[in-house]
Amino acid sequence: MSSRSGLAICVDDVEGAELDESASTSPVEDALSKLTDHPNWQVSGFGVAPPAVAYGCPSPPYLSSERVSGGKPIGDPSLQSVAKASEYRVFVFLMPDSKIAEIFGSSPIRTEPQEFLCMGQTCGEVTTALYIAVGELKDPAFLETWLARALGLESPTPQQEAPSSR
């Protein structure tokens, strides 16, 4: 269970991304404010209260330099299971550009499960981690796109455009 009464997102600088609080949270707040006009915002239930962005996440990123060797691992409920979901729907982890490249390589995916709730052998993702390179904070369209995906407003997998039929 969770005590989530509205949308809350935490932002944390990790793996040597040393930004101050405002430099970390302001771009995320700006991108979120634009997402309130997304066609799926109200039906998602996020419109019940203004979204909140906090600096500092309650747990470290599942994906880190120490965990990644030989490719990006998938979520592991045995390591990420929580008794109660945190108040945050999305953890945004800011990393140096080189760490993002090390962890994700050429993968277009930037989200991974952060927390799972389990009942017996059945587990479900309740919190998503979004990994952003420090350099990408200056790209509002990139942040909006990936926040929309992390929040489930859009498909988490980038869609390829169909070739034109000329």
Is there a domain that residue 2 lies in? no
User: What's the domain count of the chain?
Assistant: 1
> Which pLDDT value is given to residue 66?
60
CA dihedral 93, 34, 150, 69 (to 10 degrees): -40
Q: Is residue 82 part of a domain?
A: yes
Q: Determine, yes or no, domain membership for 17.
A: yes
Distance CA 11, CA 25 (A): 6
Q: Is residue 67 part of a domain?
A: no
pLDDT of residue 69: 47
The verdict on residue 157 lying in a domain is no
Calculate mean pLDDT across residues 69-73: 50
CA distances from 141 to 74, 95, 122, 144 (A): 26, 18, 36, 5
Residue 57 lies in a domain: yes
Closest CA to 61 of 2, 23, 102: 102
pTM for this prediction: 0.85
**141 in any annotated domain:** yes
Identify the CA nearest to 12 among candidates 84, 90, 66: 90
Taking only the tens place, the pLDDT of each residue in 52-61 is: 999 999 998 8
Q: What is the per-residue pLDDT for 5? A: 74
Q: Which of 31-35, 98-102, 157-161 has the lowest mean pLDDT?
A: 157-161
4-8, 67-71, 101-105, 130-134: which range is least confident on average? 67-71
Q: Which domain holds residue 125?
A: 8-62+72-150
- φ, ψ of residue 39 to 5 degrees: the values are -60, -25
Least confident of 1-10, 74-83, 84-93, 125-134: 74-83
- Token reading at 93: 């982890």
**What percentage of the chain exceeds 70 in pLDDT?**
82
What pLDDT is attached to residue 2?
A: 46
pLDDT in tens, 91-132: 999 999 988 888 888 877 888 888 888 888 888 888 899 999
